[in-house]
Amino acid sequence: MNFEIKGKHIAAAVVLGVFFGVIKYQCDSVEPPEKVEAEAEEVVELTPEQRLASLEATGAVASAHQEAINASMREVNRRLHIAERQREQKAPAADEVDVLTILFSANIHGEREDCGCKRNPLGGLSRRQTLVELAREHDSKPTEKWWGSELPAPDAVFNVDAGDLLFKSTSLEHHPEEMQNKAREHARAVVAGLGAHAPDVVNVGELDLVFGLDTYRDYVAKASFPVVSANLYTKEGERPFDGHQVVSRDGKKVAFVGLLKPKSRVHEYYKKRELDVRDPQKAYVDELAKLPDDVDLVVMLSNLGMNDTTDLVETLVEEGARVDAAVVSNTNRLTRSPEWAAGVPVVEPLSRGKYFGRLDLRLGEEPGVAYANAVEDPRKVVQDYRRAWSSYFSAREQERNTAREIAELEREFASQKERARETDEKLARKEGGKDGEKEGGEGKGDAERFVDAAGAKAQSRIEFLKKKLPTLQKRVETTSKAVADQVAKLGTIDDMVAYGDGDDWASVRIVQVKLEIPQDRKVRRVLDRLSKGD
C-alpha cells in the first residue's frame, strides 16, 4: 500500500528502518551460542535533554504509524466498496414481487420553503408534495425526470416523517423572543402545509419538544396526520400519543412504530419539560405485541440517530424481535444506500427538507422479510479496528506528553540551578568568597537557594506527573490488547463481505428537492395564506 510520509516522519522512519534492518541482519548472520552467561548491565539514566530527544523520535514514529493506519483504512474501505459493486446478484423483477414504497423525510427543522442556501438552494414542502404524487403516478415522464429512472412500479406507497419536524434547536427557548415567535410561525406553517396532503404518520422528535409537550400537542391537534411515540410519557405516567400506527393501502398493511431519543443533548432537557422518555428497546418490544398478525411490514421510525438506531436494531433482531426497516432522524445523515444493521435497511435523508427519500421494498412469496442484498457490513469491523488503533494512539500520546512535561520541567529546573550557581560564584569571587559559599548556606548561594524555593511548585508538579504515569502506561497496555482483539476479527476482503440469503430486496433513492420541481398548488396556497401573518 502506498502512502506518503513527510518531514521529520521520513527521518524517523528511515532511522528505524535502518536500525531494524541491521538488527535483523545481525540476528540472521550470527549463530547463537550454546550457552550465554547473563551479565549485569549498567543502567544509564538519561538526562532530561536525552529523554526529550527520545520522546520526539518516538512521537514522530507514532505519527507515521498512525498515518499509515489511516491510509490502510481508506484503502480497505475503497476495496470493500468495489467488492460490493461487483456482486452479480440483481434485484427481482418488479412484476414478479410485491413492491411496497416508503417515502420518507426527517429533520425538516421547521423549513417550509427552500433552505435559502447561497449555493444550490433546495427544499420546500410544496415541491416535496409534488414528489409524493409523482411516486404514486410512477409511469409519467415527470416521475423519471425528478425521481430518476429504473425505479420499480409500487403496489402501495406510504409517506412518513421520522421526527425533528418543527424546530431546529434544543436551545430555542433561550433565543430572543422575536426568533422564538418566528420559529413558532414556521412550525405552524409546516403542520398546515403537510396537512394539505397528510402523511401517513409522523414520529415525535427531540427538537419538536423544545417549547414543551403542550405546545407540541397544540400544533399537531390541528393536523390531519397521526403522531406516534412508543416511549414518550408524561411525569404522571400517561402516554400522550399512540406508540404505533397501522396503515392499510391497496391491499397492503404496514405498521409504523415511533421511538424518541431517550437522552437529550441538553442536560435535564426532558425533566425540565416534565417528560419521561423510557427505554426504547422495551417500548418497541411492548408495541410489537399490540400489532395485528397480518401486517406485511414493521417499520421503525427512530429519533435515536443513526448509530444508536443501528445498535438497537441489531439487539432487537438478535433477541428475535421483528424490524423490517428503519427510518432515522436526529443525526442529519444522508444515506444514498441503506445502512445495514442485522440485515435491516436503515435510512436518513439529511436535513431541512433539502432531500426526499424513497425506500422500495420488493417482497417475495416466502413468509417473513429477508433481504437478499442485505450486507453484513464489514465496515463496522473496520471502524472498530480503526477506533481501537485511535484509542491506542491517544493513550500513547498522553503517556508521551506526560513524560515530555516531566523532562521539560526537570530540564528547566536544572538549567535555572546551573545559572544560579554561576551567578553565586561570580558574586562570591567579587566579594572575595570561595566557590560561591556563604555562611549558613550549606554550599549554596543566595541565587541558588532562591531557585530551590521557587522550584518547589515545579517539583510538586513533577511528583504529581510521575504518580500519573503508571495509570497512563496501564491504559496503553489495555488499548494495545484491544487492538490485538480487533486484529483477530479481520479477514480478507472476500471473507469480510457477506450478503443475505432471502428473496426480498431493499433499495433506496434519495433525491434533491430542486427549485425547478413544480409546486403543489394546494400546499402553495396554504403556505402563502400563512405567510401573510409573518
Which DSSP string corresponds to 413-437?
A: HHHHHHHHHHHHHHHHHHTT-STT-
151: Cα within 13 Å, side-chain hemisphere = 29
Mean predicted confidence (pLDDT) in 451-457 = 72
pLDDT at 48: 85
CA distance 361 to 351: 23
* Pairing verdict, β 275-277 and 232-234: antiparallel
pLDDT at 495: 65
Residues pairing with 123 in the sheet: 114
Residue 298 — very low, low, confident or very high, per pLDDT cuts 50/70/90? very high
Note the pLDDT tens digit of each residue in 156-213. Answer: 999 999 999 999 999 998 999 999 999 999 999 999 999 999 999 999 999 999 999 9
pLDDT for 4 beyond 60:
no
Helix crossing, 48-85 with 379-430: angle to 10°? 170
Note the pLDDT tens digit of each residue in 100-129. Answer: 999 999 999 999 999 999 889 999 999 999
**AA identity, residue 65:** H
Of 274-278, 354-358, 431-435, 466-470, the least confident: 431-435
Q: Are 519 and 112 within 8 A, CB to CB?
A: no
pLDDT at 102: 99
Length of the chain (residues): 534
**AA identity, residue 464:** F
Q: Are 143 and 135 within 8 A, CB to CB?
A: yes
Residues pairing with 506 in the sheet: 361
Of 323-327, 334-338, 341-345, 416-420, the least confident: 416-420
Residues pairing with 362 in the sheet: 99, 505
pLDDT at 494: 63
pLDDT at 59: 86
Q: What are phi and psi of 222, to 5 degrees?
A: -90, 0
Global confidence as pTM:
0.69
pLDDT at 162: 98
Cβ neighbours around 427 below 10 Å, total:
15
pLDDT at 159: 98
The gap between the terminal CA atoms of the chain, to the nearest Å, is: 59
Angstrom distances, CA of residue 66 to CA of 14, 79, 234, 393, 395: 16, 20, 49, 7, 13
Q: What are phi and psi of 472, to 5 degrees?
A: -65, -40
pLDDT at 477: 92
CA distance 137 to 52: 71
Compare 268 and 18 and report the one with higher pLDDT.
268
> 54-64 as b/e, with b when 16 or more CB fall inside 10 Å?
ebeebbbbbbb
Residue 451 — very low, low, confident or very high, per pLDDT cuts 50/70/90? low
Beta strands in 278-331 (DSSP E): 297-302, 325-328
Q: Which stretch, 312-326, 377-391, 495-509, 520-534, has highest mean pLDDT?
A: 312-326
pLDDT at 50: 87
Residue 312 — very low, low, confident or very high, per pLDDT cuts 50/70/90? very high
pLDDT at 21: 37
